[in-house]
């Protein structure tokens, strides 16, 4: 008899208010496109309805979308076209085995890309990164990519495009309809436990199947080689990569002779993650350690294959020194100072030394620090000490033991624990010892996965409230906003000043809250 391999399903962090927030973003962004896409104007009014259906129900075929949304086929089609163009939805085909003697068939489904939808609110952060590294022409091109989704390359922008592709801020668009093969049953092992990797979400599987291989993903047409257009691609490209590269220009991928590009959100999020790491080190240690870490991150950035990578590529001491002295802040740093800074970087994100080489270990400390900060602000210092202890221990602890370790008053400890449990910050178990006189103990621990989801939902709820309040304020003054600036005088000017203040406060609050969401969810 074969042993079955039981894999615990991955808990999705797309929460209830996260979905409502994403739908609000779609409504806000694509409601403004009605006047632009006149032929789609009626259908675009339902883009949020299509998107919400996909977010709540998961991947669906067009026929099921039509059934659940009660929209016409043309409305569904037009909504999907716009959402796919703006990287909010990805189509993919699922291979289904046929009956005896029948060929397999392929069913097209559509998947809402939650992360990409939320990234639409971060365009200003992404633009700031480009403005610090490139000139205005690159900024204008990226703004066009954000606004229109997937513009085609034109002769006069290819040189600009090359800069952004080389820096990996722009990439070739993925396959329009990748194929997911049916999953094989996991092979059984005769003996001995084996650690099984956490299963991937359907979104991760689809995106991995759609993205081109590295050699294709970041290749670009040479603007002028003997009067002809030629692709710039690595000479080390493997045979498999070359076959996929050639197929990219064929009907297999639905491509035309014009190659289409889009913004690479992964690289922008990676940059923001690195910045958060550097800021954390600067606050904990000093500017020297932050300069060294920043140089190491910049040198190994393009070797990271995923945003939440656990450890960077290794660098020798001489390579790190070369990178550091290239920067303005590290221009005068000595080798002795560099060694001292590397020694300081001993806590997350830590720098590990091995055989005269160093790499950066990204431990998932950001969510833990964020949770502790929230508990401190909401419940006070005593609750913070209790929560921090349980979070670090990661196991059940008895009430009296918690009080002893944290030095919190024993009469107050049960009240604080109960409050945290009631608000879903802690998990509680009762232990009854059967004896001549029954004794009951209360055991407590932090269930981090469930707590992350709970706190993330609260953050999305707060962000949604801020967006809805801003939308309400703008709607209340829509007649004022239609007036030219020179007509807003007297009482109208006072209203305009008030609206601008409210807008600035709400938008600033949104950005700060989004910083916390990125620390908690994206990093």
How do the domains of the chain map onto residue ranges? Answer: 11-114, 265-363, 366-446, 462-522
DSSP tag of 138: H
Q: What percent of the chain has pLDDT over 90?
A: 38
Query: Is pLDDT at 259 greater than 60 in this prediction?
Result: yes
Mean of pLDDT values over 165-177: 90
Question: Does the fold of domain 366-446 match that of domain 11-114?
Answer: yes
Instruction: Report the C-alpha gap between 28 and 475 in whole angstroms.
Output: 12
The band of 267, judged by pLDDT with boundaries at 50, 70 and 90, is very high
Ranges 292-306, 393-407, 437-451, most confident: 393-407
Among 152-161, 207-216, 223-232, 343-352, which stretch is predicted with the lowest mean pLDDT?
A: 223-232
Q: Smallest Cα–Cα separation from 202: which of 229, 169, 224, 178?
A: 178
Q: Smallest Cα–Cα separation from 344: which of 296, 309, 277, 292?
A: 292
DSSP tag of 149: S
Among 149-163, 211-225, 244-258, 335-349, which stretch is predicted with the lowest mean pLDDT?
A: 244-258
Query: Is pLDDT at 197 greater than 80 in this prediction?
Result: no
Over the stretch 62-95, which tens digit does the pLDDT of each residue have? 999 999 999 889 889 988 988 998 999 999 998 8
Query: Is pLDDT at 271 greater than 90 in this prediction?
Result: yes
Average pLDDT over the chain, rounded to an integer: 81
The band of 418, judged by pLDDT with boundaries at 50, 70 and 90, is very high
Count Cβ atoms below 10 Å from residue 204 Cβ, excluding itself: 12
CATH assignment of 265-363? Answer: 1.10.10.10
Kindly give the residue spans of alpha helices, DSSP state H, lying in 149-228.
Answer: 158-166, 202-210, 214-217
> Which one is predicted more confidently, 454 or 268?
268
The band of 180, judged by pLDDT with boundaries at 50, 70 and 90, is confident
Q: What is the pLDDT of residue 344?
A: 84
CATH class of 11-114: mainly alpha
Over the stretch 312-329, which tens digit does the pLDDT of each residue have? 888 888 899 999 999 988
DSSP tag of 189: -
The band of 343, judged by pLDDT with boundaries at 50, 70 and 90, is confident
Mean of pLDDT values over 493-521: 92
Mean of pLDDT values over 388-410: 91
Mean of pLDDT values over 234-254: 44
- CA angle at 516 for the pair 511 and 520, rounded to the nearest 5°: 145
Q: What is the pLDDT of residue 63?
A: 93
CATH assignment of 366-446? Answer: 1.10.10.10
């Amino acid at each position: 008899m074969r042993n079955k391999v039981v894999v615990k399903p991955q808990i999705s962090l797309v929460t209830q208010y996260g979905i409502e927030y994403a739908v609000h973003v779609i409504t806000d962004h694509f409601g403004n496109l009605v006047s632009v896409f006149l032929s789609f104007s009626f259908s675009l009014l339902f883009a949020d309805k299509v998107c919400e259906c996909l977010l709540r129900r998961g991947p669906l075929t067009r026929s099921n979308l039509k059934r659940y949304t009660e929209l016409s086929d043309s409305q569904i089609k037009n909504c999907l076209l716009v959402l796919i163009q703006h990287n909010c939805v990805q189509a993919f085909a699922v291979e289904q085995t046929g009956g005896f003697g029948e060929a397999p068939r392929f069913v097209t489904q559509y998947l809402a890309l939650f992360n990409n939808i939320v990234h639409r609110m971060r365009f200003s952060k992404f633009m700031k990164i480009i403005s610090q590294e490139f000139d205005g022409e690159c900024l204008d091109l990226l703004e066009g990519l954000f606004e229109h989704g997937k513009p085609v390359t034109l002769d006069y922008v290819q040189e600009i495009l090359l800069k952004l592709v080389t820096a990996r801020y722009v990439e070739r668009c993925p396959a329009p309809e990748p194929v997911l093969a049916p999953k094989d049953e996991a092979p059984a092992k005769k003996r001995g436990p084996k650690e099984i990797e956490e299963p991937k979400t359907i979104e991760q599987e689809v995106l991995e199947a759609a993205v081109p291989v590295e050699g294709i993903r970041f290749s670009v047409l040479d603007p002028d080689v003997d009067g002809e257009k030629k692709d710039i691609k690595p000479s080390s490209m493997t045979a498999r990569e070359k076959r996929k590269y050639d197929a990219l220009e064929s009907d297999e991928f639905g491509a035309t002779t014009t190659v289409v590009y889009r913004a690479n959100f992964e690289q922008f999020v990676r940059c923001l993650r690195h910045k958060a790491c550097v800021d954390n080190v600067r606050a904990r240690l000093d500017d020297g350690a932050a300069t060294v870490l920043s140089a190491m991150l910049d040198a190994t950035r393009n070797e990271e294959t995923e945003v939440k990578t656990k450890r960077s590529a290794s660098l020798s001491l001489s390579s790190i020194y070369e990178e550091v002295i290239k920067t303005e802040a590290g221009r005068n740093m000595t080798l002795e100072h560099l060694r001292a800074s590397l020694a300081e970087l001993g806590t997350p994100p830590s720098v590990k030394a091995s055989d005269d080489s160093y790499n950066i270990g990204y431990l998932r400390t950001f969510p833990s620090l964020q949770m502790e900060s929230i508990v401190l602000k909401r419940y006070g210092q005593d609750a913070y000490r209790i929560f921090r202890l349980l979070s670090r221990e990661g196991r059940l602890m008895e009430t009296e033991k918690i009080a002893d370790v944290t030095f919190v008053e024993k009469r107050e400890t049960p009240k604080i624990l109960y409050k945290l449990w009631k608000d879903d910050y802690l998990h509680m178990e009762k232990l009854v010892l059967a004896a001549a006189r029954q004794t009951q103990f209360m055991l407590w621990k932090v269930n981090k996965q469930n707590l992350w989801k709970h706190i993330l939902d609260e953050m999305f709820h707060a962000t949604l409230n801020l967006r809805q309040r801003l939308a309400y304020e703008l709607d209340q003054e829509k007649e004022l906003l239609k007036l030219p600036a020179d007509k807003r005088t007297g009482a109208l000017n006072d209203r305009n000043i008030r609206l601008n203040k409210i807008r600035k406060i709400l938008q600033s609050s949104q950005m700060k809250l989004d910083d916390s969401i990125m620390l908690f969810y994206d990093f």
